[in-house]
Structure 1
Amino acid sequence: MTELLSPDQMSRVLVTIRDNNPGMTEPVARRIIGEAAKFVAAGAQFDTPMAPSRVVDEGWHALILHTALYRDLCQRHGRFVDHHPGYDPTHYDPAILDRTRDAIVRAGYEVDTGLWTPTPQPPVAPSVDA
């Protein structure tokens, strides 16, 4: 399997993701960027509704900021992968992460399952009696 990002490309995206996420270690950032690149490669190949996990989304955003690199990654794997920002829980298919992971595997990549878990809903603030 061909490397998705060159060492130079990875270094550039690493700076971006770590600047945007203070305290993130380099090994974790590399894993996230790697999964985001797999997500983009699969999205460029398949016409399947997909979405990244919240963690992998950080890597996708970092990739997108490097427009020439991002465009090249998309084109090498088929087509440009548009980003549609916003999260609408009424239109979010709970099985979308499973479908996304399956597409990544079909594209020939191994999934780092630890980065593809659903993010739990934020806790509801307790009511305060006045």
Structure 2
Amino acid sequence: MTVTQEHTATPKVKAARDLIRPRAFAGGVATVQDNNPGMERDLAERIVTEALAFVAACAQHPDDRLRPSRVVDEGWHALLLHSVVYAGLCRSLSRYVHHVPERPDVTRHDPGALVRTMGRITDAGYEVDLRLWLPPTDETISVAAGCEHSEPPPAGCGADCSNTGPN
């Protein structure tokens, strides 16, 4: 008698911080820390890592109206400030992911957008750091990011801030 064991492979989780070079990653982390005096390096690294995973998910799912939490948006801002790095990141993802901010307004918050976004990050092969994805009413991590991404999109933007334009 032969006994066979069924083996289901666990999908390998990608390391979002590997999307850019270590020196570029360190620059993004330093920018987050500069914008948030007193922030621990470990937290700044988590924020930039999550922003990289967010941008990758947006590039893979451009029509899904994905949005960052305010905390993750802080990392996205840091990446955008390093425009050569950000352009290279988007090139490597085969799609430019635009950032179109709005002033924060908790009354416009769409809780489904964060859940949808976290699902797409997972679909893209990245692990989600749940502590960085709290809604604006429950945030326990204070960041300098002063914009939010919510419905409706700005006129002429397309779907929203994560909608992509021509490559």
How much does 1:10 deviate? Answer: 1.1
| Structure of higher CA gyration radius | 2
Tell me which of 58, 64, 83 is aligned to 2:99: 83
**Residue identity matched to 1:97:** L
Runs of 5+ unmatched residues, structure 1: 123-130
Normalization by structure 2: what TM-score?
A: 0.68
Aligned positions of 1:45-124 closer than 5 A: 45-47=60-62, 48-86=64-102, 87=104, 92-120=109-137
> 1:63-116, CA deviations, whole angstroms, 9 ceiling, x for partnerless residues?
000011111111211310111111455654320000100110111101011111
Aligned counterpart, 2:164? none
Number of equivalenced pairs: 122
Q: 1:83 to 1:34 in 2, by over 3 A?
A: same
**Residue identity matched to 2:96:** F
Aligned counterpart, 1:31? 46
Aligned counterpart, 2:20? 5
> 1:26-62, CA deviations, whole angstroms, 9 ceiling, x for partnerless residues?
0000000000000001111112101111111110000
On the 8 A contact 1:44/1:75 being kept in 2, the answer is no
**Residue identity matched to 2:40:** T
Q: Would you tell me which structure has more helix in proportion to its own residues?
A: 1
Normalization by structure 1: what TM-score?
A: 0.86
SS in 2 for 1:34: helix
Indicate the RMSD between aligned Cα atoms, in angstroms. Answer: 1.8
Identity of aligned residues (%): 48
SS in 2 for 1:31: helix
Q: Structure 1 stretch 91-100 or stretch 36-45: which is displaced more?
A: 91-100
On the 8 A contact 2:106/2:137 being kept in 1, the answer is no
